[in-house]
Amino acid sequence: MKESDYASLQAFLHQGGSLRMLADTDPKDLNILYRYGTQLMNYSDYEGAKRIFYLLMKIDQWNFDYFFSLGTSCQQLGEHEEAIFCFGRSGIINVEDPRSPYYAGKSYHAVGNIDYAVKSYKAAIRVCDCLDEDKWTDIADQSRKALAKLTQEACYDQ
């Protein structure tokens, strides 16, 4: 690869471009891989799922599902530092989904970073409160319980 081509590629990727855009990859092919990764997770093959989701994330670094699933796989493997990174990235991609801060809070708690676990659970609650949907009631409740446990507050049903 010529130096100028490499510089152009670097500039493209730094501006938010992805390999999926360059390769003109069929989304159906990526979806097949994603479904395979979720099947591996369903059968508790978290290491295999992690490899699939890592590949997908490298192809398209702007896909919420790829980052979130990779984070979930890492969390199941006890790789909480990696999970935190993935949940942070998925949270940036889709700020209206409270699962990212909630699961980040679980990993922060697992590594002993209570301050950031508290912040993550509070963020998940704020996201849930901003949405009119009842879709995230479980995440909000779980975040409140985890927050109450961490801050030694009584947990009251709302």
> Alpha carbon of 88 to those of 85, 122, 148: distances in Å?
5, 14, 22
Query: In this predicted model, what pLDDT tens digit does every residue of 13-53 receive, in sequence order?
Result: 555 555 445 556 677 878 999 999 999 999 999 999 999 99
Determine the pLDDT at residue 27: 73
Least confident residue range of 20-24, 130-134, 148-152 = 20-24
Determine the pLDDT at residue 8: 54
- Find out whether 105 and 121 touch, Cβ atoms under 8 Å: yes
d(CA 77, CA 66): 17
Amino acid at 84: I
Q: Which two tokens stand for residue 48?
A: 């295999």
Single pTM value for the model: 0.82
Contacts of 74 (CB under 8 A, 6+ apart): 50, 80, 82, 83, 86
